[in-house]
Amino acid sequence: MTTHVLHDTDVLLRRSLRHIVRSPDTIITTAVTPIAMLLLFVYVFGSSIDVGTDSYVNYLLPGILLITVASGVAYTAFRVFTDVSGGVFERLQSMPIARPAFLWGHVLTSLVANLTSLVLVVLVALAMGFRTGAGLLAWFEVLGIMLLFTLALTWLAVIPGLTATSVDGVSGFSYPLIFLPFISSAFVPTDGMPGPVRWFAEHQPVTPIVNTIRHLFAGQPVGSEGMLALAWCVGLLLVAYALAMRTYRRKIT
Amino acid sequence: MTTPAAIEIAGLTKSYGDHAVLEGVDLVVRAGTIHALLGSNGAGKTTVVRILSTLLRPDGGRAAVAGHDVVTAAAAVRESISLTGQFAAVDAILTGRENLVLIAQLRRVDDAGGVADALLARFDLTDVAGQRVATYSGGLRRRLDIAMSLIGDPPVLFLDEPTTGLDPQSRLEVWRTVRELAGHGTTVLLTTQYLDEAEQLADRIAVLHDGRIIADGTLAELKALLPPTTVEYVEKQPSLEEIFLAIVGHDGASPMETR
């Protein structure tokens, strides 16, 4: 049975990767918004923002990476929805293929697509003067956190993909995700925010994740905030996975 | 009575909320026959097909396909069936050939490419095999859809309103394909709302109405349910369909309908 899961997932992964290759605009669109934000905040607002370091692009990039993923997973929801509404889902479900393969094919595709978008964003940031003292290990740690974060958001995106009744409903879920980094330490330090806003900013997952990546890029120790970031990512992943699988099981029985 | 039953349905019920769709459906489909399930829109034809293809759990009663219970042995049922749903379930971003190869790989047939090429030839799709399905006409999509359903030679095929939304020529092509299938020993359960379709294709016709099968038999048997025929002489006028087909040609010799 395990070999079936792997084989079927592999076939379906290659199918939806082909979708991406045929419409690379999904990756470009995913990267364009965060890149535009990067340009806007660094070159327009940046001169008025004091974050206590000399390079605002260094400060900003971690948050922009999270926004990239948040907008990228909307396409996963869209691809799942297209299969469900177009009948491909039913055809696959009526065939003797491993049950989890359908979702894993889409989830792994999301990882590939989002990593590609992230590379594009980092390249633009480098061109804008982003510099890091991170060693190989720190880069791998950043990659690990981004993978966990992408997986968590992808499983979350699967849910509207399976349940939405219209295309609008599918994309709607990602707006709060894209907005969340604005009320965190992603753009400005939380110190200057008024009480309740600051409390929210410091207790939501984006802040520890952004701070951890920032420390890793700066070549500094991540401390307890790193564990907190990891805990948020793993916790979100487990909850999103459980909810998505529950939605899926209800859908197929 | 010698042929085994490919599909056996007994007392099948299904409700959506307060709305009872199936209220005790009984039906037996013999292996190797084409059985039409005839009913108006909303009669529950698709619900029956969805239950038989393990996509939907029945509320009560039982249904078995190729000897396997659809609830307790769903995996075995899926090994024996193929579903061609109401809307052509094809991947529009892939090409026609890629769609066929995809299904062949998922069904683990040897030589997926060879199987795909053979089906492309059989369904007159070779010329458009390399084009994305998004460019196909409705008739072409449907033909590809049915071709995809035949991969792996499943013994039982469900065709849910296979000609709805097709132009008359494509409709005739689908009919020809279905007849050919039955010639190869495949059992076909065909749902349709078109009376002539059932009349043309089916060995037996079951009428689904108000959640139950209210009539089931061969065309001759169903005709016998009515009072004896009286003979009247009526001038035969060609139907619009006959005129249309006569003008545009309907022998299927020129299946190129690429747009």
> For residue range B166-201, what is the model confidence (pLDDT) as tens digits?
888 888 888 888 888 877 888 999 998 888 888 889
Cβ of A96 within 8 Å of Cβ of B78? The answer is yes
For chain A, give the percent of residues with pLDDT over 70: 99
Which pair of structure tokens corresponds to residue A5?
């899961």
Three-state secondary-structure class, residue B208 = strand
Domain encompassing residue B40: 31-55+67-248
What number is the average pLDDT over the span A126-143?
91
> For residue range B79-99, what is the model confidence (pLDDT) as tens digits?
999 998 877 889 999 999 999
Residue B98 pLDDT: 96
| CA nearest to B73 within chain A | A96
Residue B250 pLDDT: 61
What number is the average pLDDT over the span A48-61?
84
From B106's Cα to the closest Cα of chain A, the distance in A is: 6
The domain tally of chain B equals: 1
Cβ of B85 within 8 Å of Cβ of A15? The answer is no
CATH of the domain at B142: 3.40.50.300
Candidate from A24-33, A78-87, B50-59 with smallest mean pLDDT: A24-33
Q: Which residues of chain B have pLDDT under 70?
A: 1-3, 229, 250-259
CA distances to A118, A147, A217 from A132, rounded to whole Å, are 16, 20, 5
Which pair of structure tokens corresponds to residue B187?
């059992």
For chain B, give the percent of residues with pLDDT over 90: 51
CA distance A13 to B105: 12
From A131's Cα to the closest Cα of chain B, the distance in A is: 40
The domain tally of chain A equals: 1
What number is the average pLDDT over the span A154-179?
89
| CA nearest to B76 within chain A | A96
Q: Which residues pair with B207 in a beta bridge?
A: B38, B215
Residue B90 pLDDT: 93
Q: What is the pTM of this model?
A: 0.86
Between A1 and A10, the higher pLDDT residue = A10
The answer to whether residue B86 is domain-embedded is yes
Cβ of A90 within 8 Å of Cβ of B92? The answer is no
In this prediction the ipTM stands at 0.86
Residue A23 pLDDT: 84
Cβ of B106 within 8 Å of Cβ of A87? The answer is no
Residue B259 pLDDT: 42
Cβ of A91 within 8 Å of Cβ of B78? The answer is no
* Test mutation, A95, A102, A251, chain B, max B CBs within 10 A: A95
Residue B257 pLDDT: 44
CA distance B177 to B146: 9
Residue A88 pLDDT: 92
Domain encompassing residue A77: 2-252
Please name the residues in contact with B191: beta carbons below 8 A apart, sequence gap of 6 or more. B36, B37, B38, B39, B45, B46, B48, B49, B158, B159, B160, B161
From A252's Cα to the closest Cα of chain B, the distance in A is: 6
The answer to whether residue B134 is domain-embedded is yes
Cβ of A15 within 8 Å of Cβ of B87? The answer is no
Q: What element of type H or E holds B159?
A: strand B156-160
Q: What is the mean pLDDT of chain A?
A: 90
Cβ of B55 within 8 Å of Cβ of A94? The answer is yes
Q: B88 contacts in A (CB within 8 Å)? A: 87
Q: B75 contacts in A (CB within 8 Å)? A: 96
3-state secondary structure A32-87: HHHHHHHHHHHHHHHHHCCCCCCCHHHHHHHHHHHHHHHHHHHHHHHHHHHHHHHC
- Asked if residues A172 and A166 have their Cβ atoms less than 8 Å apart, the reply is no
Place of tokens 């509207």: A160
CA distances to A100, A105, B98, B107 from A10, rounded to whole Å, are 12, 7, 15, 13
What number is the average pLDDT over the span A32-57?
85
CA distance A89 to A102: 8
Contacts A–B by Cβ distance under 8 A: 60
The answer to whether residue B12 is domain-embedded is no
- Asked if residues A246 and A236 have their Cβ atoms less than 8 Å apart, the reply is no
The answer to whether residue B148 is domain-embedded is yes
CA distance A218 to A55: 11
Residue B7 pLDDT: 94
CA distance A2 to A81: 26
Place of tokens 């040609």: B249
Q: B92 contacts in A (CB within 8 Å)? A: 86
Instruction: Band the pLDDT of A93: cuts 50, 70, 90.
Output: very high
